[in-house]
């Protein structure tokens, strides 16, 4: 709307939500009213349905009268926004339509719309080479931000939108710095970039920009130090090396590459593709697998794909979907990945890839919500901010991709229903889907373009052999080559395996290999499976027979492993061989192209090969041998997971495990860094192992495996995965009648539900755990449940009830005779007294707890109690003592590697410093907390940013 009345209003959401009329602030009412307004502002001039508003206000705890309440909230907002509006008159601003409520406003009246307009203006200016105008537009965009969007409002829906908005803010900051560098303003940027790198330590674009700025300031040594620090962080936290752009910039600095020199003056024609962008690289996902080495043929399919891109001018203004269909083993993935690498530069905002495992022989088809979770991880969405439902995850994913040009490769899809939730919906995106299914539903409803991949022609098949064996060798035995092509059914997978065998045996006649293939085919009449596997089974069988017996056995056993990939240690456990032997056997299988080392030290193989391996194992290996292999690898995961959990944080219920089976490899960890790296790499494998244990192995291993994974899942914020694992564990324990296992699962579920705000579910699980542990008369376990209940109540601001449960936990710890836990519970009692407004009594109780912990030499307990003492002194107004106590807690948390609790105490330390009047110290403390939280990818970082914005 363009009326003067509309334009007189201004809404601001890039910080605490507020509105004003003619510069006079408006009172927006209670938080529920502001949540409703926030959702409407996210969809200006568009209908917002009541169900969406209800979900945003209440989430999973919807009252029965929700619709009436929403109507009341909207009416209240109308009275604020339109003071002259009466219930009987038509609203001109906030109207109801059949599709929902529509909030009308001028674009210039919303700070987010102005921000987007400035960013768009900057993008256009860069495209035409006007860098000064681009820089000024991006500076104006940055000035619109006052803090964290919707700060102070509690809503899962707004949480997801908040993260997407913060990402857009940071991208704009990075773009502005990139332009400033191209303008020669490097000296002014160093300080700002250092702070940004500290705040976002895993974001590779920022250290690249800082390195370039330092290099242009003639500080080459400092630039190289920034690279080493970034590489160390990535290796420690993620177990990866920097991406190619950052490595390339590092080499350019070492070589004093002239292309990195600062511009003499502001270059009129500079673009985003200068050394600035090329050296530092965009902070965008780059998930494509390595391009297929020696890819040949498929020229017709490639031309068809190119044609579909040209159809949209190479810059589509609407999402394009291309479905590549064909039989198994025909080379769909190789074609898709090869072509995706050719066009990736047209999608500078990222390339996403996921194997949907649509036809996985083990039945582990990837669910759409799991696939979207991987995409959200790629965009650095904190685990705590990932919504529960598929619809909410898909909405957040689409919000992140909105306005971006992203290539999405959905490999090995089962059907259209698996694909639809993964479609970004954003103009400019390209989705490439491969499937054995024709995906006709996607063609009909989403206007997908279809590319069918047929069997390779004889000439293309010959080209594959030539690319691997050389033209001379292939030409010398033309008849044998024809026979090999026929035996391989012109399938690239089979041809590659045969070529690998011939390549490592250069003296072998191809005619001999062709004869062996014919003999192998003749011996397979007893098999009866799908046509594709029948076609290639002869090749698999022939290649399998060339393996040494140990490697052949390993191939069979690998089919029994449920995870998406496998490590060397797990392989050694599966086969009951030493790890060096496992490595050698995997190398043999890799050289035969039967398995792939897709990342260093981790191996996977094609679905058809997995099906063949399972088939062979059922024929060759006895049931007891197969069962023992599964038990060994599960023992490997159980015992190694316990070792890693202990390295991260000693579990409250240390499990007493029987010795692992002979042949199972148990890894040990020297500190939390290697343990966290192991958990990160094995995360999806552990979830699969828990599911496999539940379905194949009776006994307590399922809940024990889930329990040992809990410290990682809990402290890394993977609470939804924790819930999924513990539900599996609970079901398995119920089936086995294992009361203790059920109790552990209920307790773990309660804690995860608490962190996700599902307090009603947490209550149910707490009650379940109480009942079960009471049946066992296990006072120690009961005490842990009451202690957990106190935390849940504390999160709900019900401190009096929390105190009651903490006191009950204290009594039970005393009856169980656990002095260390008595002291910890005593500290909790003191903490809740301080929270209830009696810091003097709380101080006295906490001092008793600290005395006990010093005597017991409990460093974790002492750290927690020093924190409580700091809080009590802070409440009493003794800020100097509070600061000293907090520093004592921080020192101990740091020694213990308890980084999350360290940030919690840093947050309170900043409050005490601010109360003491030392604003600079408070800001520095909160910056330390923010650096750790960003490194942990933890959602609480937003709260610290808000404090910094207000300080």
Taking only the tens place, the pLDDT of each residue in 739-791 is 999 999 999 999 988 877 788 899 999 999 999 999 999 999 999 999 999 99
Assess whether 323 and 404 both reside in one domain: yes
Tokens 């990139």 map to which residue? 178
- Of 215, 250, 280, the residue at which a domain comes to its end is 280
Cα–Cα distance for residue pair 287/769, rounded to 1 Å: 42
Assess whether 464 and 610 both reside in one domain: yes
Q: How many Cβ atoms are within 10 Å of 802's Cβ, its own excluded?
A: 25
Tokens 């005779």 map to which residue? 817
Q: How many Cβ atoms are within 10 Å of 636's Cβ, its own excluded?
A: 25
Could you list the residue range(s) of the whole structural domain that residue 216 is in?
Answer: 114-280
Assess whether 261 and 303 both reside in one domain: no
Q: Is residue 606 part of a domain?
A: yes
pLDDT in tens, 115-160: 988 988 888 887 667 788 888 999 999 889 988 899 888 888 888 8
Cα–Cα distance for residue pair 197/383, rounded to 1 Å: 21
Assess whether 473 and 546 both reside in one domain: yes
DSSP code at position 422: G
Q: What is the pLDDT of residue 326?
A: 83
Number of domains in the chain: 4
Q: Which of 206-215, 335-344, 531-540, 808-817 has the lowest mean pLDDT?
A: 531-540
3-class SS letters over 190-227: HHHHHHHHHHCCCCCHHHHHHHHHHHHCCCHHHHHHHH
Assess whether 173 and 138 both reside in one domain: yes
pLDDT classification of 315: cutoffs 50, 70, 90: very low
Q: How many Cβ atoms are within 10 Å of 64's Cβ, its own excluded?
A: 7
Could you tell me whether strands 449-452 and 320-325 are parallel, antiparallel, or unpaired per DSSP bridges? parallel
Distance set, CA 496 to CA 291, 478, 535 (Å):
15, 18, 14
- Of 112, 147, 163, the residue at which a domain comes to its end is 112
Assess whether 398 and 541 both reside in one domain: no
pLDDT in tens, 576-603: 999 999 999 999 888 777 888 878 889 9
Token pair for residue 360? 């996985």
CATH code for the domain in which residue 193 is found: 1.25.40.10
Q: What is the pLDDT of residue 893?
A: 81
Q: What is the pLDDT of residue 265?
A: 40
Please tell me whether residue 621 adopts helix, strand or coil conformation.
Answer: coil
Tokens 């390295």 map to which residue? 647
Q: What is the pLDDT of residue 270?
A: 32
Tell me which residue of 396, 382, 160 sits closest to 934, measured CA to CA.
Answer: 382
Q: Which of 516-530, 636-650, 918-932 has the lowest mean pLDDT?
A: 516-530
How close are the terminal C-alpha atoms of the chain, in Å? Answer: 38
Assess whether 367 and 223 both reside in one domain: no
Q: Is residue 159 part of a domain?
A: yes
Tokens 């995706």 map to which residue? 340
Cα–Cα distance for residue pair 709/723, rounded to 1 Å: 12
Cα–Cα distance for residue pair 242/203, rounded to 1 Å: 10
pLDDT in tens, 680-721: 899 999 999 999 999 888 889 999 999 999 888 877 667 788
Token pair for residue 855? 């005597």
pLDDT in tens, 258-287: 778 776 443 333 333 333 333 333 357 888
Assess whether 311 and 432 both reside in one domain: yes
- Average pLDDT for the chain: 84
Token pair for residue 482? 């024809």
pLDDT in tens, 403-423: 888 999 999 898 888 999 999
Cα–Cα distance for residue pair 781/290, rounded to 1 Å: 50
pLDDT in tens, 871-891: 999 999 999 999 999 999 998
Q: How many Cβ atoms are within 10 Å of 2's Cβ, its own excluded?
A: 8
Please tell me whether residue 270 adopts helix, strand or coil conformation.
Answer: coil
- Of 397, 422, 452, the residue at which a domain comes to its end is 452
Assess whether 470 and 614 both reside in one domain: yes
Assess whether 523 and 595 both reside in one domain: yes
Q: Is residue 408 part of a domain?
A: yes
Percent of the chain whose predicted confidence (pLDDT) is above 70 = 89
Mean pLDDT over 471-493 rounds to 85
Q: Is residue 645 part of a domain?
A: no
Assess whether 516 and 557 both reside in one domain: yes
Assess whether 387 and 424 both reside in one domain: yes
Q: Is residue 388 part of a domain?
A: yes
Q: Is residue 36 part of a domain?
A: yes
Q: Is residue 15 part of a domain?
A: yes
Q: Is residue 799 part of a domain?
A: no
CATH code for the domain in which residue 13 is found: 1.10.10.10
Cα–Cα distance for residue pair 913/925, rounded to 1 Å: 9
């Amino acid at each position: 709307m363009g009326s003067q009345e509309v334009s007189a209003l201004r809404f601001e959401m890039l910080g605490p939500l507020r509105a004003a009329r003619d510069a006079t602030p408006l009172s927006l009412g209670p938080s529920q009213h502001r949540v409703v307004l926030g959702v409407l502002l996210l969809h200006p001039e568009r209908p917002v349905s009541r169900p969406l508003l209800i979900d945003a206000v209440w989430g999973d705890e919807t009252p029965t009268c929700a619709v009436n309440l929403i109507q009341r909230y909207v009416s209240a907002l109308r009275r604020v926004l339109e003071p002259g509006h009466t219930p009987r008159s038509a609203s001109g601003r906030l109207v109801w339509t059949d599709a929902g409520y529509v909030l009308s406003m001028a674009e210039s009246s919303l700070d987010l719309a102005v921000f987007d307009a400035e960013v768009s203006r900057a993008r256009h200016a860069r495209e035409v080479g006007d860098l000064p105008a681009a820089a000024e537009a991006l500076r104006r965009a940055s000035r619109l931000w006052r803090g964290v969007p919707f700060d102070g409002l509690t809503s899962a829906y707004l949480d997801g939108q908040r993260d997407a908005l913060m990402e857009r803010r940071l991208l704009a900051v990075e773009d502005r710095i990139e332009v400033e560098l191209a303008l020669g303003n490097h000296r002014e940027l160093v300080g700002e970039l250092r702070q940004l790198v500290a705040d976002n330590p895993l974001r590779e674009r920022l250290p690249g920009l800082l390195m370039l700025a330092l290099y242009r300031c003639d500080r080459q040594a400092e630039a190289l130090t920034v690279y080493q620090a970034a590489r160390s962080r990535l290796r420690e936290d993620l177990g990866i090396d920097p991406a190619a752009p950052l490595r390339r910039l590092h080499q350019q600095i070492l070589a004093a590459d002239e292309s990195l020199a600062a511009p003499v003056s502001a270059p009129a024609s500079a673009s985003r593709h200068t050394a600035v962008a090329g050296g530092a690289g965009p902070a965008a996902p780059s998930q494509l697998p390595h391009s297929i080495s020696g890819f040949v043929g498929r020229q017709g399919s490639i031309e068809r794909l190119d044609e579909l891109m040209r159809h949209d001018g190479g810059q589509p203004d609407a999402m394009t979907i291309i479905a590549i269909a064909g039989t198994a083993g025909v080379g769909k993935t190789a074609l898709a990945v090869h072509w995706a690498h050719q066009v990736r530069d047209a999608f500078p905002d990222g390339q996403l890839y996921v194997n949907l495992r649509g036809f996985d022989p083990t039945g582990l088809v990837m669910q759409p919500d799991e696939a979207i979770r991987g995409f959200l991880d790629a965009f650095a969405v904190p685990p705590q901010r990932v919504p529960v439902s598929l619809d909410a995850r898909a909405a957040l994913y689409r919000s992140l991709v909105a306005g971006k040009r992203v290539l999405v490769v959905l490999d090995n899809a089962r059907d259209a229903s698996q694909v639809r939730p993964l479609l970004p919906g954003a103009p400019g995106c390209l989705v490439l889907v491969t499937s054995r299914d024709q995906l006709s539903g996607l063609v009909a409803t989403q206007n997908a373009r279809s590319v069918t991949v047929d069997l390779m022609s004889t000439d293309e098949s010959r080209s594959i052999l030539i690319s691997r064996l050389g033209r001379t060798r292939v030409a010398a035995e033309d008849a044998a080559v024809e026979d090999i092509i026929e035996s391989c059914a012109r399938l690239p997978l089979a041809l590659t395996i045969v070529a690998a065998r011939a390549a490592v045996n250069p003296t072998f006649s191809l005619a001999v290999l062709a004869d062996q293939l014919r003999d192998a085919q003749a011996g397979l009449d007893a098999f009866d499976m799908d046509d594709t596997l029948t076609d290639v089974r002869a090749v698999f069988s022939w290649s399998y027979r060339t393996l040494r017996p140990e490697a052949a056995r390993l191939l069979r056993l690998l089919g029994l492993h449920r995870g998406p990939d496998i490590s060397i240690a797990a392989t050694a456990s599966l086969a009951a061989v030493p790890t060096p032997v496992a490595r050698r056997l995997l190398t043999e299988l890799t050289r035969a192209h039967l398995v792939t080392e897709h990342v260093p030290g981790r191996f996977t193989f094609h679905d058809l090969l997995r099906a063949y391996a399972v088939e062979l194992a059922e024929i060759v290996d006895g049931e007891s041998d197969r069962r023992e292999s599964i038990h060994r690898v599960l023992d490997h995961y159980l015992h190694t997971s316990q070792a890693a959990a202990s390295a991260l944080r000693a579990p409250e219920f240390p499990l007493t495990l029987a010795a692992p089976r002979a042949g199972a490899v148990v890894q040990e960890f020297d500190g939390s860094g290697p343990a966290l790296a192991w958990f990160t790499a094995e995360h999806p494998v552990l979830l699969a192992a828990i599911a496999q244990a539940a379905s194949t192995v009776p006994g307590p291993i399922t809940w024990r495996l889930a329990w040992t994974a809990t410290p990682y899942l809990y402290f890394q914020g993977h609470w939804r995965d924790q819930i999924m694992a513990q539900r599996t564990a609970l079901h398995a324990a119920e089936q086995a009648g294992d009361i203790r296992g059920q109790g552990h699962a209920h307790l773990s579920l309660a804690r995860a539900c608490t962190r996700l705000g599902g307090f009603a579910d947490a209550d149910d699980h707490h009650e379940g755990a109480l009942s079960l542990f009471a049946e066992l008369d296990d006072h120690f376990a009961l005490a842990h449940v009451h202690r957990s209940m106190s935390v849940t109540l504390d999160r709900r601001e019900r401190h009096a009830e929390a105190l009651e449960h903490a006191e009950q936990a204290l009594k039970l710890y005393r009856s169980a005779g656990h002095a260390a836990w008595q002291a910890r519970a005593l500290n909790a009692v003191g903490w809740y007294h301080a929270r209830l407004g009696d810091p003097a009594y709380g101080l006295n109780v906490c001092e008793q707890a600290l005395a006990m912990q010093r005597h017991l030499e409990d460093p974790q307990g002492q750290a927690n109690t020093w924190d409580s003492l700091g809080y009590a002194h802070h409440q009493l107004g003794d800020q100097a003592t509070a600061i000293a106590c907090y520093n004592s807690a921080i020192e101990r948390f740091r020694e213990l590697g308890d980084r999350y609790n360290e940030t919690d105490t840093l947050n309170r330390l900043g409050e005490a410093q601010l109360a003491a009047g030392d604003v600079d110290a408070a800001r520095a403390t909160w910056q330390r907390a923010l650096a750790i939280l960003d490194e942990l990818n933890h959602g609480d970082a937003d709260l610290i940013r808000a404090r910094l914005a207000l300080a």
